[in-house]
């Protein structure tokens, strides 16, 4: 039988205004200190790291980032717009 994992709830501070949150990670994972940012959410080329966490073996990482939002459209349309702004072509 697999060993159970001990989880802990982490309070993630707002590194970009209004984006504080909580998340549950394995207790032995380490969170990296990241700088706060003003955030220019008018630019599609920007993204802001919110969390960088790593397991004790340092072979597994979890990242969470924020990107600009749009007034309307679907998630697919947003992703294609961001990709286009970065000159990334979607493979279909």
Question: Tokens 């998340």 map to which residue?
Answer: 23
* DSSP-derived pairing of the beta strands 30-31 and 7-12: unpaired
Q: Are 56 and 48 in contact (CB under 8 A)?
A: no
**How many angstroms separate the CA atoms of 22 and 87, rounded?**
33
The whole-model pTM stands at 0.67
What phi and psi values does residue 75 have, to the nearest 5 degrees?
-60, -40
- pLDDT of the chain, 92 residues: tens digit per residue: 567 889 999 999 988 888 899 999 999 999 998 888 776 767 767 788 899 999 888 688 999 988 777 778 888 888 888 788 888 887 76
DSSP 85: H
Tell me what pLDDT residue 21 has. 94
Place of tokens 């992703």: 79
């Amino acid at each position: 039988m697999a060993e159970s994992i001990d989880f802990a709830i982490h309070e993630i501070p707002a590194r970009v205004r209004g984006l504080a949150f909580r998340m549950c990670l394995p207790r032995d994972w380490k969170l990296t200190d990241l700088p706060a940012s003003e955030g220019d959410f008018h630019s599609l080329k920007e993204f802001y790291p919110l969390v960088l966490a790593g397991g004790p073996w340092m072979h597994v990482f979890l990242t969470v980032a924020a990107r600009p939002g749009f007034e309307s459209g679907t998630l697919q349309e947003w992703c294609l717009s961001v990709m286009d702004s970065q000159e990334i072509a979607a493979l279909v």
